[in-house]
Amino acid sequence: MAKYKITFDREACIGAIACVSVNPKYWLTAEDGKVDLKGAKKNKDGKWELIIGEEDFVINRDSAEVCPVLAIKVEKVEE
């Protein structure tokens, strides 16, 4: 099964919460008014990353599409 990588630029996030409303399984509101991606780890560029399976691609792609500042990217991981 294909794997996908979510990359979340938390610095860019303006706390519009659209991602949470379409996908509360992965996106949580945080105390600072932004959101957190559940289970993600910070990479060397200061962005948050999480690998997901194909079954969760669509809901996370939907989160990426509704984000007004394009803080979320979902791309296929080559195996």
- Report the residue from 4, 17, 40, 59 that binds ligand SF4 according to the rule CB under 6 A: 17
Would you give the binding string for ligand SF4 spanning residues 29-48, x where CB under 6 A is met? -----xx-------------
When the beta carbons of 2 and 69 are compared against ligand SF4, the nearer one is 69
User: What DSSP string runs through the chain?
Assistant: --EEEEEE-TTT-----HHHHH-TTTEEE-TTSSEEETT-EE-TTS-EEEEEEGGGHHHHHHHHHH-TT--EEEEEEP-
CB of 52 to ligand SF4, least distance (A): 16
Binding residues for ligand SF4, per CB under 6 A? 13-19, 34-35, 66-69, 71-72
